[in-house]
Every structure is written in C-alpha cells, then in structure tokens.
Amino acid sequence: MTIAAASPSQKAGQYFPSASGALAFPNNVAAGSLLTIVGWCYTGSTDDRPVLGDLTQTAGTAVLGPISRDLVNTRDVGASNFLHEIHYSVIVKTSGSLTLTLNGGASGLSCYLAFDEYTGTWDEKRVVDMAAANGDGTPPSSGNATSTGPGLFVGGLMHINATTGSAATEDGAFTLIDEEDSTPSNVGGSAISRIVTGATTDAAEWSMSAPTDWIATLVVYQEAEAAASPRIPTLSSAGAGDITSTEARPRVTLTW
C-alpha cells in the first residue's frame, strides 16, 4: 500500500478541563498503522513543557513501538499563561484496543488530544520535515514543510482568547481530524491532515474570527521506501562446453 492510496481508518479528539486526560480509540488499531497524536496544554504559573514521557499507553491489548515526540511548540502569553502544542507518533506492532493518556502536568488548566490512524508501511524514523510558528492577531500559519515524496502532513493549531467564541477555521486543503473551540477556559484549536502523492512543500493555515494568541505546527510523515528487488540471473543458453579428458565444463550464459 502506498500513502497516496491510504486514508485514516479512524480519527477523534477530546478536550479535558484538567491537567491530563485519557483518549480511547473507538476501534482496534491495526498492526503496521501509524498513529499521529496532536496534544495541547494550557498551563498557568509554571512553564510545564510537554516531554516524551507525557504520553503513555494506559490500557488496551495493542502492542506499540516506541512513542516518538516529533515536535513541541511553546508560547508565553503574559506573565503566567503558557500554550504548549506537541506532536507524537507511534507505529502499531500488534493490533488491539488502545487507550493513550496525556499528562499535562500539575499546573495544567486544560489539555486536548486529537489523533488519526493511517495504515501502510511506515519508516521507523517517520518524521521527514516540520515547522512551527506562533503569534497574535494575524492569520495563523505553521510555515512551510516539505515532503520528499508521497507523504502525510499533520498540522495543529491552539489558540486562547479572553472572549468566548474566537473560533478557528481550518485550511480547506486539509482534512479536519478534530476541532475544539470556545471551551470553558477559552482555549481551542484544530488538528488537520493532508496526503500528498509526491514531493510537496506545503503550509497549514487557519483563519480566526477574532484576534488571539496562537501556536501552530506542521509535521510531515513518510512511508518507508520499498526495498529494491534482488536481481536474479536467468539461464538463457547452455552448450556442450569444452571437453577434456578429465572434466566437462558446460558453457552457460547468464542474463541480468
């Protein structure tokens, strides 16, 4: 299977008005699938930057490969508010049920998880390119990221605003994985993905209904390159060979 023919077998997201939250995949994850997870944390008082061990498997029968922290982006908003966005990925080794938990830290006021699952044959390194950006009041963009061949672009946006209702509209070139806007703490955003069939430079962009502080990211994943087929010689002709008194050496021509 090539990524150009792949599609997400399942996708979802969930908001947690606390420091951590668990997200159960609705269906069993398949062996060989690539799971991409976009996590957001809004923290106060302490700049508790997400780390690799903050995402863990807490239930389920699926066997996973190593979880990779592919990108983290942080923005300081004022004296005591911090926005964190993080991309994780993992390859499923054995199919089964799965629950993942993101620990946003003791200072977490809210966190969010969004994921999708793509079947295929994925490179263990996974990440091809990535970009991150942050700002306020201007249309958010993660900047340009590049795939050297068929690839999966996964973007994420997180925003905070003093006024409830500052919704984001995702880039129309991408497919929406999940979206959360106007939460009780006025934190929201969206996770989006896009498949490209060849070498592509792209950027995930959003529009906002009101000025807001935001962070945005874009990570590119790529399938493993197919191994070159071994070149096997074929027997095209054989002759009687040169005959001596002690041995026979047949004449064989190999064609590669």
Query: Could you tell me if residue 69 is inside a domain?
Result: yes
Query: Could you tell me if residue 246 is inside a domain?
Result: no
Query: Could you tell me if residue 181 is inside a domain?
Result: yes
CA nearest neighbour of 37 among 191, 140, 181: 191
Query: Could you tell me if residue 248 is inside a domain?
Result: no
Alpha-carbon span 169 to 155, nearest angstrom: 13
CA nearest neighbour of 187 among 55, 81, 51, 78: 81
Q: What are the φ and ψ backbone dihedral angles of 4, each rounded to 5 degrees?
A: -60, -25
Query: Could you tell me if residue 254 is inside a domain?
Result: no
DSSP bridge partners of 238:
252
CA nearest neighbour of 127 among 114, 142, 141, 145: 145
Residues of the chain whose pLDDT is less than 70? 1-2, 4-6, 19, 45, 79, 106-109, 162-166, 182-185, 226-256
Q: Give the model's pLDDT for residue 181.
A: 74
Query: Could you tell me if residue 66 is inside a domain?
Result: yes
Residue 52, SS3? Answer: helix
Query: Could you tell me if residue 233 is inside a domain?
Result: no
Q: Give the model's pLDDT for residue 19.
A: 67
Give the torsion sign (CA, 140, 36, 57, 12). positive
Q: Which amino acid type is present at position 172?
A: G
Q: What are the φ and ψ backbone dihedral angles of 197, each rounded to 5 degrees?
A: -95, -5
Residue 140, SS3? Answer: coil
CA nearest neighbour of 111 among 180, 12, 41: 41
DSSP bridge partners of 76:
82
The structural domain count of the chain equals: 1
- Vertex 17 angle, CA 16 and 20, to 5°: 55
Chain segment 68-96, per-residue pLDDT in tens: 999 999 888 876 788 889 999 999 999 99
The answer to whether 171 and 204 have CB atoms below 8 angstroms apart is yes
Range of the domain at 162: 3-223
Q: How many CA atoms lie within 13 A of 239 on its CB side?
A: 6
Query: Could you tell me if residue 188 is inside a domain?
Result: yes
The answer to whether 33 and 92 have CB atoms below 8 angstroms apart is yes
Alpha-carbon span 110 to 141, nearest angstrom: 23
Q: Give the model's pLDDT for residue 218.
A: 96
What is the token pair recorded at 35? 């799971």
